[in-house]
Amino acid sequence: MVTRLVLVLGDQLSLGLSALAQADKADDVIVMAEVADEAAYVPHHPKKIALILSAMRKFAARLESEGWTVAYTRLDHPDNAGSIPGELLRRAAEVGASEVLVTTPGEWRLINVLSDCPLQVQFLADDRFVATRADFEGWAEGRKQLRMEFFYREMRRKTGLMMEGDKPAGGKWNYDAENRKSPPKDLRPPEPPKFEPDAITSEVLELVEARFSGNFGRLRPFWFATDAEQAEAALDHFIDHALPNFGDYQDAMLSGQRFLFHAVISPCLNIGLLDPLTVCQRVQAAWKAGHVPINAAEGFIRQIIGWREFVRGIYFLEGPDYVNRNALGHDRALPALYWGGETRMNCLSEAVEQTRDEAYAHHIQRLMVTGNFALLAGIDPHQVHEWYLAVYADAFEWVEAPNTVGMSQFADGGVVGSKPYVSSGAYINRMSDYCKSCAYSVTAKTGEGACPFNLLYWHFLERHRDRFKDNPRMGNMYRTWDRMDDGKRATIVKEAQIFLDRMSDGALV
């Protein structure tokens, strides 16, 4: 047999990976490489780099223990070629191979780089998803609008999850009406399990400390799951302790409670340590056993077989230029507060500080605090995209870009969502306790100390009136704005503009 190379990337750490299923243990050589190029396309959070390198090393050891030949290159190896194609070429020369098997990467950049590599690269479908790319394209074809809710129902039918025959369990597809409660003051969520670094992870932490301490983000304490067994334990803990309240407090935000009832499993899912369908089956079993209510189980399963699959479909359907879209023409530079610069806005300060410490923020912090502010303030969506891609441990372009460019910044002009996710301070106040400790007043609409979200919300609607005035889901917003007297509207627009100018001049806001 001719020896082939089997490339396994840092987010492809699954024993059932299609490239491994097609490979021959006796003859083929697995290539895994820690390379400078992958660490440099954005300034990744040190915890994200440590997670990937540590999980790669452990996965390579696991493959070797199962009889595979693994050519593994460490980041500090003197012969390291610095890039994925460079490493493939080096290994190809070493073992006399010219063919490469790879499960298609989750990023156009890497797909293009591998397509240009002067080796015979065979791309295989990434079957760690419920929907294939062809399934999604077929579903999307001929539809005027792509809406997650309808795609999700297809995924329910396809998987049989939460189904009773051809009907949704309990009679409804979606139990969100029972979710999203405001958090009571004395809410005491469980902490996610924290894994002590073992010898492999400790060595990686030293490497990351030496090479990436200039990147935004705290490396230590580091407690992420870095192998399939730990990921499984994290999932068990979530199902036992947090899932029962997942639906109720899905949109809540509380100071000092960084994880609430969220699963904190997206890094494990996205690098391949957990299988999404198995996760959903476990959640369904907990519901069937009477351990969790239906609104929690359905809400959670919808995030995975609905949103997660939907955004992946959009990423590949829309093509490589998706990350450069800017439908609203926003061009303000991302302010320093996103990189930990001081701000008097408590909600942003809390979300960014926790991002720096944990490489994690939950969905509503990402969407309604950091995302909402960037959109209201008219920040260049590409800069926003690069920030999200860098700072979260779960950030890979196929999932990050549609969430940021589409759902959060409306820069795709409405492919992911039918209206922009914008809100004034009132929403943040209802869903969190942030406003109580803020230098700004959430009830003040104008004048000294008025919450910037209140000013910017109307400023956003006014500057995009032509685009959104006829959107049926935004009619109420415009009617409220238009009912205000002219003087008040002029004051709001003026004060919002002053705020934006001060922010861009680097003043403390």
Amino acid at 25: K
393 binds ligand FAD (CB under 6 A): no
396 binds ligand DLZ (CB under 6 A): yes
How far is 325 from 73, CA to CA, in rounded Å? 36
C-alpha separations of 489 from 174, 461, 494 in Å: 39, 11, 9
Q: For residues 6 and 155, which CB has a smaller minimum distance to ligand FAD in the complex?
A: 155
The residues near 362 (Cβ < 8 Å, ≥ 6 apart) are: 253, 258, 259, 260, 262
**One character per residue 225-264, x = contact with ligand FAD (rule: CB under 6 A):** -------------------------------------xxx
Q: For residues 114 and 509, which CB has a smaller minimum distance to ligand SF4 in the complex?
A: 509
375 binds ligand SF4 (CB under 6 A): no
106 binds ligand DLZ (CB under 6 A): yes
308 binds, among ligand FAD, ligand DLZ, ligand SF4, none (CB under 5 to 8 A by kind): ligand FAD
Q: For residues 10 and 85, which CB has a smaller minimum distance to ligand FAD in the complex?
A: 10
323 binds ligand DLZ (CB under 6 A): no
Among positions 429, 455, 461, 468, the unique one binding ligand SF4 when judged by CB under 6 A: 429
Q: Interface with ligand DLZ by CB under 6 A: which range of 93-101, 103-111, 117-125, 489-497?
A: 103-111
Q: Which helix (H) or strand (E) holds 72?
A: strand 69-73
Q: What is the CB neighbour count within 10 angstroms for residue 144?
A: 4
- The closest of 376, 360, 358 to 368, measured between CA atoms, is 376
Which of left, alpha, beta for 369 (phi over 0: left; psi -120 to 50: alpha)? alpha
54 binds, among ligand FAD, ligand SF4, ligand DLZ, none (CB under 5 to 8 A by kind): none
CA 313 to chain centre: 15
Instruction: Look at the block and give the residue holding tokens 């009889």.
Output: 67
User: How many residues sit close enough to ligand FAD to count as binding (CB under 6 A)?
Assistant: 28
Among residue numbers 441 through 480, which ones bind ligand SF4 (CB under 6 A)? Answer: 442, 451-453
* DSSP state string for 307-323: IIHHHHHHHHHH-GGGG
38 binds ligand DLZ (CB under 6 A): yes
User: In sequence order, what are the beta bridge partners of 30?
Assistant: 6, 70
How far is 98 from 93, CA to CA, in rounded Å? 8
Q: Which residues bind ligand FAD (CB under 6 A)?
A: 262-266, 269-270, 300, 303-304, 307-308, 311, 362-363, 366-367, 371, 388, 392, 394-395, 399-400, 403-404, 407-408
Q: Which residues bind ligand SF4 (CB under 6 A)?
A: 345-347, 425, 428-429, 434-435, 438, 440, 442, 451-453
